[in-house]
Each structure stands twice: as C-alpha cells, then as structure tokens.
Amino acid sequence: MSEAPAVTETSPATAGKALVELDDVSKYYGNIRALEGVSLEAHAGEVTCVLGDNGAGKSTLIKIIAGLHQHDAGTFRIEGEEVRLGKPREALDRGIATVYQDLAVVPLMPVWRNFFLGSEPTKGAGPFKRMDVAFMRETTRAELLRMGIDLRDVDQPIGTLSGGERQCVAIARAVYFGAKVLVLDEPTAALGVKQSGVVLKYVAAARDAGLAVVLITHNPHHAYLVGDRFVLLKRGTMAGSYTKDAITLDELTRQMAGGSELEELSHELERAPKPLHLGGERTDES
C-alpha cells in the first residue's frame, strides 16, 4: 500500500454542505433511554467525530443514521429533507454507507470479490449470464489505487490483509458505490498505532473526496487529528458539541475522560495522611 492518498479535492459546490442533520433526536427501548436530545451535523468535505465511552449511545446513533432503527423524537434530515428511514437499503439509496467494526467481509474470498460483495456485475444473458470477473478485478485495482491504496494482488484473500488495510478497502468500496455520507464505527479500535495512522489517512482521503464522514470513536487523539466537528455523548445524552477551533485536544481529552468526575474521584482516592507519633514509642502499662 502506498503512503499518500491521491484523490480529487473537494469542489466548492459540495464543501461545507450539510448532508445529514440530527436535531434533538431521542430513542427509547421500552423504559430504557438509549438516546435523548442528541443533535449532530455532517457536512460534505468534513469529518464529524462522535466520542463517548461504552454505553454512551454511539451504537444507537449509528443505527438511526444507517436506517436500522427509527428515532422516537426529534428530526432527522438528509440533504435538508426530513426522513424516517425504515431499513438500511433506504439509507444506502440516499448515499449513506456504514462501515461497521467487524467489516462484514468473507476472509477466504479475494479482495475483488469482497469489494463487490452483494453488488456483483454480470455479463451475458439467459443461461450464459455470469459474473464479470475481469471487470471486478480491474475496477477493484483501479478504485483502490485512486484512493491511494496500491494493492498489487487483488486475488489474495482479504483475510490476509492487515486490519487497517481491510478498513481502507471498505472505505474505497463505499466511495466507489456513490456514498455521500460515510459512517465509520470505531475503525481504529482494534488496531495498533501504525495501522491506525493508515486508516486515518484514508478517512482524510474520503473527506477530501467530498464525502461527509461521521467517525465514531472513543479515542480523542485520533478524532482530533482528522475531525472538524466533535460531538460528545455521555449515557445517551449530549455532553458537548464543538468545532475544532473552539476546543483544544487537552480539553477534548479531559471531557472525554470524565473531567470534573475524575477530579472528584482523585480526591476520594487520595491516601489519608499517616498519623505522626511524637515522643517515642508508646508503651502500655497495666
């Protein structure tokens, strides 16, 4: 794989355009509050980072944007139009592609087969209809290269690629199939420092290609490297919403780590001072 992504730059017509908007959105499962009053904007040519600890509501937010679940309150807009998505196919048809952490790939199948999985082009007709393997191989190689991914052998099983490389293939696939909004579910969670850096390069490449990227993560350092907007979730509610020029990495990290709660905890965990015994050893006399 090459080091530097090479993609087209964002055009003035798409830069800064809000493609996805959530306004005061809530989701309940019976008496359980999964999300309440969450707002978010994803603009073309920008990365919106959603940060939160486990149980913060990130997964529920992804499912609403991806069309898996419908919101119970608030407003969900795609390119200015209010929507209630009933299934993932509706999200895909509107240009929203979601790349989950498990990637949903078939490890023993070649890279080109996974690239077109579920959307295989065919040639011929009737009993002679078959998959256009040559087209899939060539297109996969060309599209990966366009994203800056120089993969020499697209016939190798995708399971032989590193975790970072598999993430990059999934991003390139979403771009090829016409995604306008790319939702990434913790893409660097199981990766080391070097592979995380590779993935973040291609997140930036998707942004520069004009996509609106929603990056779900619990790592403020990764978020700050590529993010333009930051939404902090805590127990299903908004703990903050910032643009990059309005918050520093230190403050983002402090808020992500719990901020004032950690300060209170540190006071509780401080060692009590040891009592001083003056005047030598104490003796007990009967």
pLDDT tens for 78-101 read 999 999 998 889 999 999 999 887
Cα torsion at 126, 128, 129, 131 (round to 10°)?
170
Task: Give the per-residue pLDDT at 187.
Answer: 87
| Parallel/antiparallel/unpaired status of strands 81-82 and 73-78 | antiparallel
CA 160 vs. chain centroid, Å, equals 23
Distances (CA, A) of 233 to 80, 150, 236: 24, 37, 6
The mean pLDDT of 58-65, rounded to a whole number, is 92
Q: Which two tokens stand for residue 14?
A: 């798409």
Give dist(CA 110, CA 192) in Å, integer.
24
Task: Give the per-residue pLDDT at 278.
Answer: 60
The mean pLDDT of 136-140, rounded to a whole number, is 93
pLDDT in tens, 23-33: 999 999 888 88
Q: Which two tokens stand for residue 178?
A: 């016409």
Give the confidence band of 285 by pLDDT, cuts at 50, 70, 90. Answer: low
Phi/psi for 130 (5° steps) reads -155, 165
The mean pLDDT of 35-45, rounded to a whole number, is 93
Range with the lowest mean pLDDT among 106-120, 129-143, 162-176, 253-267? 253-267
pLDDT of 215 > 90? The answer is yes
Give dist(CA 267, CA 16) in Å, integer.
44
The mean pLDDT of 129-133, rounded to a whole number, is 90
pLDDT in tens, 253-273: 888 876 655 556 565 666 666
3-class secondary structure per residue, 144-155? HHHCCCCCCCCC
To the nearest whole percent, how much of the chain has pLDDT over 70? 84
pLDDT of 12 > 50? The answer is no
pLDDT of 122 > 80? The answer is yes
pLDDT of 228 > 70? The answer is yes
Tell me the one-letter amino acid at 118. G
Kindly state the DSSP code that residue 164 receives in the 8-state scheme.
Answer: H
Q: Where are the alpha helices (DSSP H) in 156-212?
A: 163-176, 193-208
Domains in the chain and their CATH numbers? 18-261 (3.40.50.300)
pLDDT of 6 > 50? The answer is no
pLDDT of 136 > 90? The answer is yes
The mean pLDDT of 64-71, rounded to a whole number, is 92
Q: Which two tokens stand for residue 38?
A: 């969450």
Enumerate long-range contacts of 244-253, CB under 8 Å, 24 or more apart: 249/220, 249/221, 249/224, 252/51, 252/220, 252/223, 252/224, 253/220, 253/221
Task: Give the per-residue pLDDT at 14.
Answer: 44
Round the average pLDDT of the chain to a whole number and report it.
Answer: 84
pLDDT of 234 > 60? The answer is yes
pLDDT of 13 > 60? The answer is no
To the nearest whole percent, how much of the chain has pLDDT over 90? 45
Q: Which two tokens stand for residue 221?
A: 């350092």
Q: What is the pTM of this model?
A: 0.80
Task: Give the per-residue pLDDT at 21.
Answer: 94
Using CB atoms within 10 Å of the CB of residue 257, give its burial: 0 to 12 exposed, 13 to 18 middle, 19+ buried: exposed
Distances (CA, A) of 66 to 32, 62, 78, 182: 21, 6, 12, 10
pLDDT of 112 > 80? The answer is yes
Burial pattern 264-286, b for ≥16 Cβ within 10 A else e, equals eeeeeeeeeeeeeeeeeeeeeee
